[in-house]
Structure 1
Amino acid sequence: MGEDKDGVYCKVCGGIVPGTIDIKQILVDGKATGINHLEFIIDEVKKLGALSDAETKAELLKRAKELNFIPTKKEAAYAEGLLDAFKQG
């Protein structure tokens, strides 16, 4: 019998397995905000080569949304924070 899984979860408590979390912080509207797998997201966008700031923000946001909850109303602020982290790293 096959199992469909949406992720890796603890078999005891059902929570996320700590080893699968890699959270780094960015500033979103001046507040430190955790982003899971930030380094991975940045590395994936760097592989795309030279992009404009607008294209870079769109690619960063797209990947970040796959691994993190980002409120629709805050997408622009997250995109700015992700771009700042991208330029620093």
Structure 2
Amino acid sequence: MNKDIPCCQADALRQIKMVPVNGVPTGITMLDEIIAEVKEMNLPSDQQIRENLLKRVKVYNYVPKAADEAYMRAILAVYKKQFP
């Protein structure tokens, strides 16, 4: 079993990071792990980074289609803070 994937809902809840999406604090599960995974991909453009971050965030979190752009901006900002 992959040690990075939560074993249960309780474990997943412990891995939530609060991120402001359109100014609203929003809990995103597994974000630190997702950011590390995307960083290892060495993607050449911010657009590719944004798309891959969102794709992985959607595996663990519900993201309304209308909020895709807001989530991409928010999670890219977190990514850029960690990897300027």
TM range (shorter): 0.7 to 0.9
Consecutive unaligned residues in structure 2, runs of 5 or more: 1-5
Q: With structure 2 as the length reference, what TM-score do the two structures score?
A: 0.82
Higher relative contact order (CA 8 A, sep 6+): 2
Question: Which one has the bigger helix percentage?
Answer: 2
Distance verdict in 2 for CA 1:70–1:46, change over 3 Å: same
| Residues in 1 aligned to 2:7 and 2:33: alpha-carbon distance in whole angstroms | 18
Count of equivalent residues:
76
Describe the superposition over 1:35-68 as per-residue Cα deviations: whole angstroms up to 9, x where unpaired. Answer: 0001001001000114211111000000000110
Instruction: Confirm or deny: 8 A CA contact 2:19 2:25 kept in the other structure.
Output: yes
Q: With structure 1 as the length reference, what TM-score do the two structures score?
A: 0.78
Partner of 2:22: 29
Larger radius of gyration: 1
Q: Does 1:72 align with 2:65?
A: yes
Consecutive unaligned residues in structure 1, runs of 5 or more: 1-6, 10-15
- Let me know the Cα RMSD of the aligned residues: 1.5
Q: Sequence identity, in percent?
A: 34
4+ residue segments displaced more than 2 Å: none
